[in-house]
């Protein structure tokens, strides 16, 4: 078994596709390149000691099909034969998967590469547009998703091929601008003195921001879970929660606008993940788009770039399925991330 530099050749079916996040894992099997994926119930990563156990229990024990190929999108850097997930205790060991689970071929990509692949072909029914602007079909795109962390990826169209560009954009600096920001930011929990975007724009970031607002105003926090904060904000039952989600929307707009400029994303900026869907009513309010467009001297440019919330429940798996069917349409770099049985 070896880590190979082979390119995007056709994959042997059936194909297991998996989207492995810090909290949840989602799996489907593609029986052949023409079939719709067969989906399996989502699993919580905390319920299984390892990804191998999760695949065996949640997928292989529930079907008579034996996948020959596994294509997995994981939340973590791919830098060897043992791949640590950033916000989860699982370690992906492709050689052990080949030996123990019967795969002939294992491909591992970054989770936001999969999200980027997904936004290449999402239909309007799975997109909620926020603000102005129209998609330039051949232009670069950006996808970012607040979840367990803050994932970011670009998608570049070159020579009729969609090339995903993964990175660690969630760790860019995020600083105060308004007087209210300057009052709140001293109370934001930092990492080695830094407030990165991920310190605010993810699940634990919502809690971080809420606590900072409470400390600033001398109020005892009432909530400890991000879902409770967002629920209280959306039903307008707690002032600090309302401000938390309003500022969250503004800060998300700032970062999304910065990334749009970096990638010149005339093809659109796409907000993925469960948190974006949960706070969609707040994102429809003026704060998100106002912060997105507030990029002088390029305000008019920003108004021309569309932004969307991805409402597809399994967008990453949809992207992986598209890649699995026709890998030559995508410029996914498999160097050092594909393992095959000898």
* pLDDT digits 0-9 by tens, 13-69: 999 999 998 888 999 999 998 888 899 999 999 999 999 999 999 999 999 999 999
Residues 93-132: tens digit of each pLDDT: 999 999 999 999 999 998 888 999 989 888 899 999 999 9
pLDDT at 8: 57
pLDDT at 3: 55
CATH topology classification for 2-111+315-340: Nucleotidyltransferase; domain 5 (3.30.420)
pLDDT at 342: 78
| pTM listed for this prediction | 0.89
Structure tokens given for 29: 């099997």
Averaged pLDDT of the chain: 93
Distance between CA atoms of residues 75 and 92, nearest Å: 11
Q: Is the fold of 2-111+315-340 the same as that of 123-310?
A: no
Cβ count within 10 A of residue 335: 10
Torsion of Cα atoms, 87 then 228 then 152 then 40, to 10°: 70
Please state, in angstroms and as integers, the Cα–Cα distance from residue 310 to each residue in 218, 278, 316, following that order: 37, 11, 11
pLDDT at 7: 53
Residue 144 has pLDDT above 60, yes or no: yes
Cβ partners under 8 Å of residue 273, min gap 6: 145, 146, 147, 151, 310
Site of tokens 């905390």:
46
DSSP notation for 235-279: TT--HHHHHHHHHHHHHHHHHHHHHHHHHT-TT-EEE-SHHHHHT
Residue 5 has pLDDT above 50, yes or no: no
pLDDT mean over 147-156? 91
| Helical H segments across the chain, by residue range | 51-58, 94-101, 111-119, 179-184, 203-217, 226-234, 239-263, 274-278, 280-283, 286-293, 299-304, 315-325
Residue 4 has pLDDT above 70, yes or no: no
Residues 266-277: tens digit of each pLDDT: 999 999 988 999
Local confidence band at 6 (pLDDT 50, 70, 90 cut-offs) = low
More confident of the two residues 334 and 286: 286
Least confident of 142-146, 200-204, 211-215, 325-329: 325-329
- Where in the chain are the domains? 2-111+315-340, 123-310
Q: Which CATH number fits domain 123-310: 3.40.367.20, 3.40.640.10, 3.40.50.460, 1.10.3110.10?
A: 3.40.367.20
pLDDT mean over 220-231? 96
């Amino acid at each position: 078994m070896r880590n190979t530099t082979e390119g995007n050749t056709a994959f042997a079916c059936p194909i297991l596709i998996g989207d492995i996040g810090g909290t949840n894992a989602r799996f489907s099997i593609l029986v052949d390149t023409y079939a719709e994926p067969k989906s399996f119930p989502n699993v919580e990563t905390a319920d299984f000691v390892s990804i191998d156990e999760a695949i065996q229990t949640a997928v292989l024990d529930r079907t008579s099909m034996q996948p020959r190929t596994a294509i997995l999108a994981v939340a973590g850097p791919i830098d060897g034969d043992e791949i640590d997930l950033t916000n989860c205790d699982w370690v992906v060991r492709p050689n052990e998967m080949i030996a123990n689970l019967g795969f002939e071929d294992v491909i591992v990509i970054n989770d936001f590469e999969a999200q980027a692949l997904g936004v290449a072909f999402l239909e309007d029914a799975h997109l909620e547009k926020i603000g102005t602007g129209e998609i330039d079909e051949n232009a670069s795109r950006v996808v970012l998703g607040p979840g367990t962390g803050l994932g970011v990826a670009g998608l570049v169209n070159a020579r009729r091929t969609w090339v995903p560009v993964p990175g660690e954009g969630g760790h860019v600096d995020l600083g105060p601008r308004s007087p209210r920001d300057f009052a709140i930011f001293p109370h934001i929990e930092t990492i080695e003195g830094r407030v990165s975007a991920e310190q605010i724009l993810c699940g634990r970031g919502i809690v971080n921001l809420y606590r900072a607002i409470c400390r600033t105003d001398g109020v005892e926090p009432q909530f400890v879970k991000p879902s409770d904060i967002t629920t209280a904000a959306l039903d307008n039952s707690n002032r600090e929660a309302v401000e938390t989600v309003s500022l969250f929307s503004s800060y998300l707009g700032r970062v999304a606008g910065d990334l749009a400029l970096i990638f010149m994303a005339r093809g659109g900026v796409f907000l993925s993940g469960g948190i974006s869907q949960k706070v969609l009513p707040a994102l429809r309010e003026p704060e998100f788009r106002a912060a997105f467009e507030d990029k002088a001297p390029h305000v008019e440019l920003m108004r021309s770039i569309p932004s969307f919330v991805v409402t597809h429940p399994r967008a990453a798996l949809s992207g992986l399925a598209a890649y699995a069917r026709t890998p030559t349409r995508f410029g996914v770099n498999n160097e050092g991330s594909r393992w095959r049985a000898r």
